[in-house]
Amino acid sequence: MKLLQQTGLIIALALIVVSCGKPSDTVDATEAAEVAEATGKTLAIDPSTSTINWRGYKPTGQHYGFIPVTSGEVTVQGEELTGAKFVFDITGLKIQDMEESNEFYGKLWGHLQSPDFFDAANHPQATFELTSVEPFAAGAIADKEEFASENTPKKDSEVAPSNPTHLISGNLTIRGTTKNIKFPASVSIVDGAVNATAGFNIDRTAWGLSYGDEATAVDKAKDQFIYNTVSVGFDIKAN
């Protein structure tokens, strides 16, 4: 039970978006930046077809699931993305590696909602606001060396889209903490519709999700920690 409670905390949440930094870093979460001035046509995000996925790791297991997108919009100027804002419902978080009828599901879900992690009672939503967009450049994805185990986190290069088109930067707010992040994405704007997919890793502790922090593990050989790395993926549709 303790294992199940600890492993899932790693949400990714955050739902949502980070940049690959130096080879020794998982992602580069910096201070909040000025939100981009959106110009052009504003399109509503379709919550029914837009998803945010997360996967957390512990040496002895993994948990994965999704966080619902409740609202949001993107702004386009011709075929260029100029603005975006997404809202995620932390209280709607789902765990997909076990049935909801399983007694451990409720215990893990409750732990993730608690002050140990998202503190959802005080911070029920997470948000992402676009600050800049640039073309994707080869070599922009760097993989981090992780402590090896049966459940070593997937590398950034493994979770990134197969053909990224852009590097997107934005302010990600989770649990009242805002950090600017950058991540590779594949963005298509055709006939007034936007489709965007992304996959990346974040360091959960940058937003205060520090329960089971691997940096505090005295003896990693005992597997008594949760990886700080969380894999995040999204598929956003707007029209």
When divided into structural domains, the chain yields a total of: 1
CA atoms of 76 and 109, how far apart (whole Å):
37
Q: Please give the pLDDT value at position 66.
A: 96
CA atoms of 18 and 184, how far apart (whole Å):
8
Q: Are 162 and 185 in contact (CB under 8 A)?
A: no
- The distance from CA 239 to its chain's CA centroid, rounded to whole angstroms, is 23
In 3D space, the residue among 223, 222, 224, 228 whose CA is nearest the CA of residue 210 turns out to be 228
Residues paired with 189 in a beta bridge? 194
Per-residue pLDDT of the chain (239 residues; tens, 9 = 90+): 433 434 333 333 333 333 333 333 345 678 878 888 889 999 999 999 998 999 999 999 999 999 999 999 999 998 899 999 999 999 999 999 999 999 999 999 999 999 999 999 999 999 999 999 999 988 888 898 999 999 999 999 999 999 999 999 999 999 999 999 999 999 999 988 999 999 999 999 999 999 999 988 888 888 889 999 999 998 999 98
Q: Please give the pLDDT value at position 89.
A: 96
The backbone torsions φ and ψ at residue 81, rounded to the nearest 5 degrees and listed phi first, read -85, 125
Q: Please give the pLDDT value at position 2.
A: 39
- Residues whose CB falls within 8 Å of the CB of residue 125, separated by 6 or more in sequence, listed in order: 70, 87, 88, 89, 90
Q: Please give the pLDDT value at position 117.
A: 93
Write the CATH number for 16.
Answer: 2.40.128.110
- Residues whose CB falls within 8 Å of the CB of residue 214, separated by 6 or more in sequence, listed in order: 147, 220, 225, 226, 227, 228
Q: Could you tell me the pTM of the whole model? A: 0.83
Q: Residue 26: which domain range?
A: 2-238
